[in-house]
C-alpha cells in the first residue's frame, strides 16, 4: 500500500464543476491532485473514467481516488471491478467516515446531481480524515478481497 499524498480525481461530463471544486479544496489541504477527468461538457462514458482512476489507486501510484458522475453509482460500479479497489458512494459524512474506518475504502464516489458543493467537500474531508480501524474489520476486508479470486 502506498503512503503517498497523491489522490486521483475523475468524473464524467456531469460532474466536471464539482470535481474541479474538490480538486482545489484538497490541494489547499496539501494533497497532490492527479486530475484525469474531462474538461469539456461533451458526453463521456463514466466506466472509462472509473476504471482509469481505480487503476492508479490499485497500482499504488495514488493513495486514494475520488470519482464522480451524476449519481456516483455507475462510476463506483466500474471502479469496483478493478482488483484491490474498495469504493463506496457517499451522500453524507457518516458513511464517508465509516467506509474508511470499517471497510478500508481506498476510493470515494459522489453523485454531483445528488449533493451540493458544500456537502461534497464535507464528505471528502470526512473520508480523508478517517483511518482504518483494523481489528475485527480487517478480517472482513480480507473476505472482500478474497471474492476477487
Check if 102 is active-site: yes
Catalytic hit among 69, 87, 90, 137:
69
Check if 13 is active-site: no
Backbone phi, psi, residue 85, to 5°: -95, 135
- Long-range pairs of 81-89 with CB within 8 A, sequence gap ≥ 24: 81/51, 81/54, 82/51, 82/54, 82/55, 82/57, 82/58, 83/58, 83/148, 84/57, 84/58, 84/145, 84/148, 85/54, 85/57, 85/58, 86/141, 86/144, 87/54
**Which residues belong to the active site?**
69, 102
Amino acid at each position: 500500500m502506498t503512503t503517498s499524498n497523491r489522490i486521483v480525481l475523475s468524473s464524467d461530463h456531469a460532474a466536471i464543476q464539482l470535481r474541479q471544486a474538490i480538486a482545489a479544496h484538497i490541494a489547499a489541504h496539501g494533497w497532490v491532485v492527479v486530475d484525469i477527468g474531462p474538461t469539456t461538457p461533451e458526453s463521456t462514458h463514466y466506466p472509462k473514467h472509473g476504471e482509469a482512476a481505480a487503476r492508479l489507486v490499485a497500482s499504488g501510484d495514488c493513495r486514494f481516488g475520488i470519482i464522480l458522475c451524476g449519481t456516483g453509482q455507475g462510476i463506483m460500479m466500474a471502479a469496483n471491478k478493478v482488483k484491490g479497489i474498495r469504493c463506496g458512494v457517499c451522500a453524507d459524512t457518516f458513511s464517508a467516515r465509516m467506509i474508511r474506518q470499517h471497510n478500508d475504502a481506498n476510493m470515494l464516489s459522489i453523485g454531483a446531481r445528488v449533493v451540493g458543493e458544500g456537502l461534497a467537500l464535507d464528505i471528502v474531508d470526512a473520508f480523508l480524515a478517517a483511518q482504518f480501524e483494523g481489528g475485527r474489520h480487517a478480517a472482513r476486508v480480507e473476505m472482500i478481497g478474497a471474492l476477487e479470486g
